[in-house]
Amino acid sequence: MTHFLNPYLFICRISFITSFFLVISSCSKEEFTQTTTTTTETAVEVVVEEIMGCSTFSPPPLDILLIYDNSSSLKFFKRDIKASLRELVTSIFDNYKDYNICITPLIADAGSAYQNSCQFRISSNNVITSSPSVGVNDVDLDGAEVDFSQEKGISRTYNLIKNLRDPQSVNGILRNKSYTVAILISNGDDTERFRSGINIMNDELLNEYKKKFLDLTFLNKDVSNQTSLSQLRFISLVNYTKTSGCSSMTRDPGARYRALSSSIYSGQGLSDDTQDPYPDSYNLCQSKMEDIFKTIGDSINKLKIGHTYNLWPLGSMLGKDPNKLKVLRSSTRQLIPNDPIDGYTYDPSLAKKNIRSFPGIGVAPPEEYSGPFVVLNGSAELVYPDCLILKKEDYTKYYGYFVLPDEPKVDQMKIYINGKLIPKGGSDGWSYLGFQESTYLLVNSNLDDTPAPKPLENVDKYYRTGYVIKFSGQSVYTDGDKVGVYYKKAPLK
């Protein structure tokens, strides 16, 4: 059986296919394939620069008075003294560039040439006094047959310090404001105020001289006092027992010297000496003298003049905002800006200044730095060993413009800042300015859209070429904000 196609149905099918192709051909290729382009950018976050600086100290002027036992007992330890002196000078040499060492005998009667002077002097600056400056190798100690009952070592030490520190005297060697260390070597003991020829402890004597010695120091005085010693030590190298290897005619050798050493030490509130129970006293007859002098040298090297600072340099403040500056003491105590009692003030001056308020430049060389600085007011001054932490932040930057690399279809554009949709137009919205060869992105604030001052470094990164969007009011974005622009490209022209 033959089948014939219905001519009417055939015509309808052809008509449908033709109309489908007509619909397709009415859309351009570009419109048919157009996709949304996304441009996102995060404004650079504020940079916080943190630096820490610590106060320091300087070795003080150091004066050493060495009083050696010149009685017949000298034969027990004479050969050790020179080696011990060499050890002492070696141990202090690296730390102290300003020192005097005066060596003089323990027993010097009224006719002695050394009653009120040095027999030998070792000096860092080789100043010649009544005796020429000498080195350790030139020291030659003399023993003498003297009456041991005339060993008044405590009063002799005190009188020597008073006499030798007189700046008007030709013997002046122990200087005002210096750290003075008296070292007395004896296998006997002080014989002042004997009781029936027996050398027993005398509290009245010790208390009297303890007060006299401490009155020579800054203790309980204004530190500006020009005639006081910064610190005074009375170090005794003595025999602790009569039965020891370096014999003594004294019943209780070294007892008074030991007691005075510890009382002068504790009377100044010192605590770094580990000699127990007699700080600043050493057993002459139990240890090698050279080892004792090394220990003394180590103790002397702990002497410090802690520095106090009323200025501190900030380093470069290029691009940093002084109003965002944070100043902390030892990580925990934040100082108050512009507080005159316990705070700081910003000083923009760049000239060199001495940042130290104590000690004066007559004691230690100035510490000079270029500005800018923070001025540390009142109790905020930096005192050794404290440290200062400075946190410097960039100026806050406001961006009034965003630049696209392509021309957008403006009516289809969506803009988000930190995920929030920004309206087009209005006082807090955006507007499109079109293509510009060079656009400076920064404005003064979200209340002032005039151009901000140009940064002094890396200014080129704030200029862009392209299709410009301008933000107004609260839509102006700032450091760390994330901007996302979703758009379709405009047709090619």
What are the pLDDT digits (tens) for 294-334? 888 888 877 778 899 999 999 999 889 999 999 998 767 89
End-to-end CA distance of the chain: 63
SS3 209: helix
Cβ proximity of 121 and 103 under 8 Å = yes
Distance CA 266, CA 167 (A): 28
Q: Is 153 exposed, middle or buried (0-12, 13-18, 19+ CB in 10 A)?
A: buried
- Paired tokens of 138: 């030139």
Amino acid, res. 239: N
User: Tens digits of per-residue pLDDT, 269-301?
Assistant: 887 766 668 899 998 877 788 888 888 888 887
CB neighbourhood size of 376 (10 A): 25
Look at residue 329 in the predicted model and tell me its pLDDT: 86
Q: For each of the domains in the chain, give its residue range(s) and CATH number, in order of start.
A: 49-56+307-393 (no CATH), 60-303 (3.40.50.410), 397-487 (no CATH)
For the ranges 129-133, 142-146, 462-466, the maximum mean pLDDT occurs at 462-466
| Full DSSP string of 21-52 | HHHHHTS-HHHHH---EEEEEEPPPPPEEEEE
Distance CA 103, CA 122 (A): 8
Check pLDDT > 50 for residue 77. Answer: yes
- Paired tokens of 7: 């001519």
Looking at 348-481, which runs of residues are DSSP E strands? 353-354, 356-358, 368-369, 373-376, 382-383, 387-393, 398-399, 401-404, 414-417, 420-421, 430-440, 442-445, 448-451, 463-471, 477-478
Q: Compute the C-alpha angle 130/134/135, nearest 5°.
A: 160
> Mean pLDDT, the chain, as a whole number?
80
The whole-number average pLDDT for the span 81-106 is: 78
Q: What are the Cα distances from residue 154, in Å, to 110, 112, 116, 273, 354?
A: 17, 18, 14, 21, 43
Distance CA 299, CA 294 (A): 9
Look at residue 422 in the predicted model and tell me its pLDDT: 96
Distance CA 65, CA 173 (A): 9
User: Tens digits of per-residue pLDDT, 401-440?
Assistant: 999 999 999 999 999 999 999 999 999 999 999 999 999 9
The whole-number average pLDDT for the span 250-267 is: 88
- Paired tokens of 373: 């600085």
Question: What is the value of pTM for the model shown?
Answer: 0.62
H/E stretch holding 214 = helix 203-214
Q: What are the Cα distances from residue 58, in Å, to 52, 63, 214, 315, 384?
A: 20, 15, 23, 23, 10
Could you tell me the strand order of the sheet in which 37-42 lies? 37-42, 482-487, 414-417, 420-421
The whole-number average pLDDT for the span 221-234 is: 67
H/E stretch holding 255 = helix 255-267
Does 21 or 446 have the greater pLDDT score? 446
* Residue linked to tokens 């001519």: 7
